[in-house]
Amino acid sequence: MVAPPIATGIGYYVVGLASLLLTRGGLGIATIWPPSGILFAVLLIVPRRRAGWHIAAVALASLGANLGSGTALFVSIGFTVANITGSALAAWLVRAHGRSGVSFTELTGMIRFCMAALMGTMVSATIAVVVSPATSANFWVSWFSPDLVGALVVTPLILIGYDAFKNRLVPWRKAAPRIVTVLGLVALVSALSFGQSNYPLLFLPMLAVIIAAFSLGSLGAAGGVLIVAVIGSAAVSLGISPLSLIHADALKQSLFLQFYLLTLLGAALPIAALLATRARIARRLSDKMRLLQLAESAAHFGHWRFDIATQTVSWSPEVFRIYGVDPDIMPSLDGVIRGFHAEDRAAVTAIIERSIEHRAAFQFNARLVQPGGEICHVYSRGEIDHNADDSSFGLFGIIQDITVQVAHEAAIEHARIRAEEAARAATVMAETDQLTGIANRRRTHLVLEQAISLSRRLGGPLSVAIFDVDHFKRVNDTWGHQAGDEVLKRIATDAEGELRNGDMVGRFGGEEFVIVLPDATAQVALLVAERVRIAIEAGGSNPCVTISIGVAELTNGEAGDALLRRADQALYVAKAEGRNTLRLAA
């Protein structure tokens, strides 16, 4: 793409010629040299790989302008090298910190830019002095000062305008009338101030530029200073400016105008930078507040602050929603406390008073009663908030609507209780004989194993008794199975009634039952078993039944199954020896 470099070269040439036309005096002193600012800005904007084309275009433009003004070829080449070297060095110094190093809204960026421009301009003036036939300190100054003013005035305007256009920082259609009006005001004031030589009105353009900085920011500051520079240079060249009141030669008057422009720029740009920083902080604060309110609304919590010195309360919008009150009316501390449920007010008040007294953090759960009578569960947490301006302090904290959470927790707790009850019921069903309601075979085995483990640990005795109904088949055949079931239920009830505390009877299956007798010797087991036998024999009629019982005492190292086998063998002995009796295992 050759169009951008060509545009750069043409712009450099045209602006250079215009600046030469404003050169006054036989010394060829220019107030401002904008071409240096143009090249400086271009080298900061274009990619490095394209910078060579723009430098070449500027070299041709500079060489043509110098030759066209009657400068010798060697000197023209030297001046061209000086112009390009100064701008290129300044751009390199800025780019050494990255493109982000160019900033007119931050103090550090402004200082970095000014130092780079100063170094580049000094090198450019030094090269020009070396190749110039009129080598002198005045020549160095007459080159350095316009070059520096051009770099410091023109470059910021180009960069600010480019960034605003590229990043769409300025809505040009809407802002154009305001920009034209403000900069037009600067031009009018500058023309009135520099267009006469009777009164020293140079303070008026400064006032206009500051207004432009306040109104348009960096764009207004840089643009305003450039307008003042152009009008001031034209007026000086025509000899009608207030500078004629200064009794000094052309060089000193030019230096005065340059110093005036730099002072104007030094006053306007920092103001614009401060305003931009303030606006940026305000935007960030606004964004943070918006996001905070969004987060508070999504999480149903708000923040509050209680100023102890003034006894005033401030709430975020979400706190008003939680309380269910009008956000336009800030409640008093008493109103805040009265919002809590009557049963919770005393506790909340005590917590807050204790926090203030000990200057300690606090947290609590409580209930709020909204104006409509709805109960709202809240969680509040606060801490001491010291005032940075004096020694006073307040309380700052958050309040969160946890009504849904409380409801969920209650539902979970209710579900847990129901699950535990269901689990217990399932356990009972799994371990209970459905006919008799006593322990089944599984439960009986488990209780026996636990009793054996306890006996081994404590060294106490343990016995078991196994019994079944004598001639139970005859009962079923004669009276029917329903009657047989009733007999089994009656036996279970009668047996349980004769046991000691801690004993257990379980149905092993059919008409067979097992009694577990912890801490019972064989003699004690025989006594309990005999009571059970007698109770069952006397327990009812139609049909009347008897039982046979086998008793066994746990021996050292014996397992549960072996103990049951010995008791079962004793049971068979009892049956073989006539039934309705009991026998002790060997």
What is residue 330's DSSP assignment?
A: P
- What is the CATH code for 300-406? 3.30.450.20
In order, the DSSP letters of 364-414 are EEEEEE-TTS-EEEEEEEEEEEE-SSSS-EEEEEEEEE-HHHHHHHHHHHH
pLDDT at 391: 62
**pLDDT for 99 beyond 70:** no
CB 55 within 8 A of CB 3: no
Q: What are the residue ranges spanned by the domains of the chain?
A: 1-166, 170-295, 300-406, 432-584
Question: What are the pLDDT digits (tens) for 1-32?
Answer: 678 888 888 888 888 777 766 554 433 456 77
Mean pLDDT on 44-53: 86
Give the model's confidence band at 400: pLDDT under 50 very low, under 70 low, under 90 confident, else very high: confident
Contacts of 291 (CB under 8 A, 6+ apart): none
Rounded mean pLDDT of the chain? 84
> What number is the average pLDDT over the span 163-190?
77
pTM above 0.75, yes or no: no
Contact 107, 74 (CB under 8 A): no
Is pLDDT above 60 for 98? no
What is the rounded CA–CA span in Å between residue 130 and residue 144? 13
CA-based max dimension of the chain: 154
The reply to whether CATH 3.30.70.270 applies to domain 432-584 is: yes
Tokens representing residue 554 in the block: 């746990």
- Reported as a single tens digit per residue, the pLDDT across 410-428 is 889 898 889 888 888 887 7
**382 pairs with which residues across the strands?**
362, 397
Is 50 exceeded by the pLDDT of residue 164?
Answer: yes
Q: pLDDT above 70 covers what percent of the chain?
A: 90
65-86: average pLDDT: 84
Say yes or no to pLDDT of 144 above 80.
yes
Confidence of residue 156 (pLDDT cuts 50, 70, 90): confident
For residues 257-282, average pLDDT: 78
pLDDT tens digits for range 522-567? 999 999 999 999 999 988 777 889 999 999 999 998 999 999 999 9
> Is residue 362 over pLDDT 50?
yes
Per-residue pLDDT at 392 exceeds 80: no
Q: Compute φ and ψ for 304, nearest 5 degrees.
A: -145, 160
* Residue 399: strand pairing partners: 302, 380
What whole-number distance in Å separates Cα of residue 84 and Cα of residue 62?
9
- Residue 294 pLDDT exceeds 50: yes
- Residue 303's nearest CA partner among 289, 290, 314 is 314
Q: Is 463 helix (H, G, I), strand (E, B) or coil?
A: strand
Instruction: Report angle CA 123, 63, 126 to the nearest 5 degrees.
Output: 15
Question: Encoding tokens for residue 92?
Answer: 């390199």
Q: Check if the beta carbon of residue 520 is closer than 8 Å to that of residue 465.
A: no
Distance set, CA 197 to CA 186, 192, 239, 337, 460 (Å)? 19, 10, 8, 74, 126
Query: pLDDT (tens digit, 9 = 90+) per residue, 211-248?
Result: 888 888 777 888 888 888 888 877 877 778 777 667 66
Please name the helix (run of DSSP H) or strand (run of DSSP E) that holds residue 505, with its range, or none.
Answer: strand 504-509
pLDDT tens digits for range 439-495: 999 999 999 999 999 999 999 999 999 999 999 999 898 889 898 999 999 999 999
**For residue 351, pLDDT beyond 60:** yes
User: Pick from 515, 509, 508: which is nearest to 550 by CA?
Assistant: 515
* d(C-alpha 62, C-alpha 66), whole Å: 6
Say what percent of the chain tops pLDDT 90: 23
Please state the separation of Cα 5 from the chain's center in Å: 47
